Amino acid sequence: HSPLFKPTVHLDLIKSIETQYLPALYFVFSRKQCSDKAHELASLRNYLTPEQSAEVKESFLEQFGPEDNWSSSTRKLFRVCRKGIAYHHAGLLPLQKSLVEELFLRKYISVLYCTETFSVGINYPVKAVCFDSLNKFDGHNFRPLANHEFFQMSGRAGRRGIDSKGYSFALVDLNYFDKEPPVKFDMYKLEPLASQFRLSYNTVLNLLATLTNEQIETFFKKSFAVYSYATLSEKIETQMQRLTQLAKESQKHLCSKAGTYQCPLNYYPKQKELEKLYKAYRKLDPRRRNKIYARQMYRKIRKWEKILHKPPANCSPKQSKLCQIHYKRWNRLEDKIRDLRNQLFALPDYHTFNDEFIRKKQQLQTMGYIDNNNILPRGEIARQIYVQEVLVTEILFAGIFDQLDDDQLNALISCIDYESKRNDYFHKFDKLDFSPIYEIIAYVQSMCDPDTVRFDPRPAIITYFWSKGSTLNVIQELCTLDEGDIISVLRRTIDLLRQIREAVTDQLLKERLSTCIKKLDRDEASILELY
């Protein structure tokens, strides 16, 4: 059937707030939707005077040089910015993002479409915050926004000294609008901070290098991770006690037959099920009754005949109805208690971290990184590397760097710890033989935890040709990554090269790594290192 209402879109929301509630941030949980929506609005609205638009153009010329030199993405961004509209997400180039931020602070942007990351870091206050949806995809499923996520974003609404209050708006499609009250966000019920502490091999080495055994034990006992898990454990136990009390109260209303097959509520549905089984079995011809599934069916029938041979309790309809209400409630409470108990058992504690520390220490000893508590040369390198430290150290000690030229070395380093998205595509790359690397990876995975290594050879092609001097336009032809993601790969590679340079003691290798960094640290990827 056709929908009762026309679908509600972002333009409807902007139209309803633009006279009173601008400037506004419009949060969208998709990069592509950010730019698409900005261009849709720009085709209908212009929030700038000709003079302001000319000043925006001047800012673009200062940042990106003559218009003839602008990339297609810069031209695309300018088309909306000159109308007081913009978009901001991780796929933009760093210079593009900083210009959008600057224009926003100078009050040249009235509507900014952005992803969630814009709400973290520097505060850019506005009069109103808009949500394209109150649900987001977390990599697995669509789920409602958590309290802390909502308040992190909506907290941008309200400019100090200008607005007495800030406003938050959410887009709602009337065809799917539930008559129940919408999700209530309560700032007094923010989710507790969860520790993200991970005991890496680097951490183990640094603890061994700087603390005594007693100090390491104290470190784990006093860590925020152990504290937060202990706090969460107390909270879960309190909830369990409350629910157990409620379950006991519900149980008082149940007769002794509740939960058994002598209770009419359970007996009659199971009896109907048994009758269906009888019918299905009777329809089988004698030959098919010898099949495995038929014999299983027969055994099931015999089992349920034994269980249901006693007649059910003789309860009145009123009794049954009352019992059904309390039994459902009791069952729900028992399910919740079971879930909480499972959560409690899954929580790590001090012993969990201590056991993991001992296990990783033994692995490092076996691999020659430590001798008891003494740090060996491999360990000295690994404790100064904060990304894939074991893999990097093994590649270094295998002499792989000596077999590669500078561009190949840069390409290799960019593959370490690269986390691809599902739809990323790269051209094939044949300038590097990865087989020795895969042998090292197999060794590391056999000695350490299987998920210790993260390595993807695909970004090698973009780093290799950037290192060779190719322009960003050429690099874009080699993959489907956004410009900002390409720069992120290059800058991440520069950072890891710096870590390796700081860790090694060989002066010639240090100088070579500086040369490798210089080949990447240029133009759009420049971090302006002082050499």
**pLDDT tens column, 205-254:** 999 999 888 888 777 766 645 555 666 666 777 787 888 888 877 777 66
Q: Is the pLDDT of residue 522 over 60?
A: yes
**In-domain check, residue 251:** no
Arithmetic mean of pLDDT, 173-193 = 55
Total residues belonging to the chain: 531
**In-domain check, residue 345:** no
End of a domain among 172, 189, 206? 189
Tell me what pLDDT residue 184 has.
63
Helix (H) or strand (E) holding 484: helix 483-503
3-state secondary structure 76-129: HHHHHHCCCEEEECCCCCHHHHHHHHHHHHCCCCCEEEECHHHHCCCCCCECEE
Same domain, 156 and 293: no
Same domain, 18 and 158: yes
What are the tokens at 262? 């002598």
User: Where in the sequence is the domain holding 497, given as residue range(s)?
Assistant: 384-525
Same domain, 18 and 145: yes
**In-domain check, residue 25:** yes
Same domain, 399 and 498: yes
Tell me what pLDDT residue 301 has.
79
Give the pLDDT confidence of 440-478 residue by residue, as tens digits: 999 999 999 777 899 999 999 999 999 999 999 999 999
Biggest CA-to-CA distance, the chain? 93
Give the pLDDT confidence of 46-81 residue by residue, as tens digits: 999 999 999 999 999 999 999 988 888 999 999 999
d(CA 238, CA 135): 30
| Collapsed DSSP state (helix, strand, coil) of residue 177 | coil
Same domain, 54 and 166: yes
Burial 102-133 (b: 16+ CB within 10 A, else e): ebbeeebbbbbbbbeebbeeeebbbbbbbbbb
Taking 3-state DSSP, the helix, strand and coil percentages for the chain, each rounded to the nearest 5, stand at: 55, 5, 35
Domain count, the chain: 3
Arithmetic mean of pLDDT, 138-159 = 72
| Percentage with pLDDT > 70 across the chain | 83
Calculate the average pLDDT of the chain: 83
d(CA 156, CA 128): 8
d(CA 236, CA 210): 36
Same domain, 302 and 398: no
Tell me what pLDDT residue 224 has.
43
d(CA 340, CA 320): 30
End of a domain among 159, 189, 219? 189
The structure's pTM equals: 0.70
- Burial class of residue 480, CB neighbours in 10 A (0-12, 13-18, 19+): exposed
Tell me what pLDDT residue 228 has.
58
Same domain, 166 and 26: yes
Tell me what pLDDT residue 191 has.
47
> Contact at 8 Å (CB) between 209 and 375?
yes
> Contact at 8 Å (CB) between 103 and 129?
no
Band the pLDDT of 186: cuts 50, 70, 90: low
d(CA 240, CA 18): 49
Band the pLDDT of 138: cuts 50, 70, 90: low
Arithmetic mean of pLDDT, 328-348 = 74
| Collapsed DSSP state (helix, strand, coil) of residue 143 | strand
> Which CATH number belongs to the domain containing residue 81 in this structure?
3.40.50.300
479 strand-pairing partners? 426
Q: Is the pLDDT of residue 123 over 60?
A: yes
Q: What angle do CA 164, 169, 173 make, to 5 degrees?
A: 165
End of a domain among 189, 209, 241? 189
d(CA 441, CA 447): 10
Tell me what pLDDT residue 256 has.
63
Band the pLDDT of 333: cuts 50, 70, 90: confident
Band the pLDDT of 531: cuts 50, 70, 90: very low
Same domain, 309 and 454: no
How far the first Cα of the chain sits from its last, in Å, is 68
**In-domain check, residue 39:** yes
**In-domain check, residue 374:** no
Tell me what pLDDT residue 277 has.
79
**In-domain check, residue 227:** no
- Burial class of residue 215, CB neighbours in 10 A (0-12, 13-18, 19+): exposed
Give the pLDDT confidence of 352-400 residue by residue, as tens digits: 777 888 899 999 999 999 998 899 999 999 999 999 999 999 999 999 9
Give the pLDDT confidence of 250-281 residue by residue, as tens digits: 777 666 666 666 677 677 777 787 788 778 77
Pairing of strands 142-144, 135-137: antiparallel
Give the pLDDT confidence of 4-13 residue by residue, as tens digits: 667 778 898 9
Give the pLDDT confidence of 22-31 residue by residue, as tens digits: 899 999 988 8
Q: What angle do CA 273, 279, 285 make, to 5 degrees?
A: 140
Tell me what pLDDT residue 126 has.
84
Same domain, 33 and 179: yes
| Residue 50 dihedral angles phi and psi, to the nearest 5° | -55, -35
370 strand-pairing partners? 375
Q: Is the pLDDT of residue 347 over 70?
A: no
What are the tokens at 193? 């901070």
Band the pLDDT of 295: cuts 50, 70, 90: confident
Among candidate residues 314, 326, 317, the one with its CA nearest the CA of residue 252: 326
- Burial class of residue 288, CB neighbours in 10 A (0-12, 13-18, 19+): exposed
Same domain, 168 and 293: no
Same domain, 182 and 91: yes
Which span out of 252-256, 294-298, 347-351 was modeled with the highest average pLDDT? Answer: 294-298
Which span out of 27-36, 404-413, 417-426 was modeled with the highest average pLDDT? Answer: 404-413
> Contact at 8 Å (CB) between 423 and 480?
yes
d(CA 341, CA 464): 52
Give the pLDDT confidence of 75-119 residue by residue, as tens digits: 999 999 999 999 999 889 999 999 999 999 999 999 999 988 777
| Collapsed DSSP state (helix, strand, coil) of residue 357 | helix
| Percentage with pLDDT > 90 across the chain | 46
> Which CATH number belongs to the domain containing residue 471 in this structure?
1.10.3380.30
For 14-71, give the DSSP string: HHHHTTTS-SEEEE-S-HHHHHHHHHHHHTT---S-HHHHHHHHHHHHHHH-SGGG--
Among candidate residues 40, 17, 5, the one with its CA nearest the CA of residue 131: 17
**In-domain check, residue 250:** no
Same domain, 152 and 295: no
**In-domain check, residue 244:** no
Band the pLDDT of 530: cuts 50, 70, 90: very low
